[in-house]
Structure 1
Amino acid sequence: MSYFDTPITPAPGEIHLGYASITWNGDDRQAIEDIAALGFPGIQLRSNVLKEFASAAELRALLEKHQLKMVALSSGGVRIDPAVESEEIARHTANA
C-alpha cells in the first residue's frame, strides 16, 4: 500500500461550547447559576465581570462550584481611532 492509499482522517478538534451571559444584563452570578443549571459546560462573560468580582480566584471558584468553564471574555468595544490606539490595546490587554 502506498502512502497515497492511506485514508486521511480529520484531526481531533477542541470546541468549547458555552452560553453568553449578556442575556442577564450584568447579573453574572445569576447567569452562572442559570447557565450551569441548564447543563451548558461553558460561559462567555463580559468585561463588567471584572468589577463584580474582587479577584480572578473568586470568579474561578464560583465557576468551579457550578462546573463551568469560561470559554470567552467579551472585552468591550474597540474605538478605531489612532489617537487612542495604545489606550485601547492597554485596556483590552488588562482585561485579558
Structure 2
Amino acid sequence: MVFLLLLVCAGARAEFLEGTVDRVGCHIDKDECFVVLDSPVMDVSKCSNDSSAGLRWGSSGEHAYAALSIIMNAKVNNMKVLFGGVGDTCFGDFLSFRWVTLKD
C-alpha cells in the first residue's frame, strides 16, 4: 500500500509553485519573459529544457504584461508569488504557468 502511494505521488505534477522572486526580465529580441525564484524549480513537466532556470511566458500575449507587473511588484516589495498551473504548460521548451498572484 505504501509503495502504491509512493508511485502515485512520484507521478503527480506540481500545480502550484510559491517563492520569492530572485530575477525577472524579458528578452528584447524575442517574445519571451522569465522569472527565477529563490529556490530551484523542480522539473515537473514535459518541457524539454532545464526547468531549474525558472518559468517563462510570451511577452506579446494579451495578459503578458499583467503577469510581468504582478511579478515585478513582488520583486520590488520583497513579497512571495504563487504560480498556478505549473507543469501543465510549456512556453517553447521551458516550464510555464497559467496564472500568478501575490502572497502576503
The normalised TM-score by structure 2 is 0.22
Structure with more relative contact order (C-alpha pairs < 8 Å, separation 6 or more): 2
Write 1 or 2 for the structure with the bigger share of strand: 2
Larger Rg: 1
Structure 1 or 2: larger helix share?
Answer: 1
TM-score by length of 1: 0.23
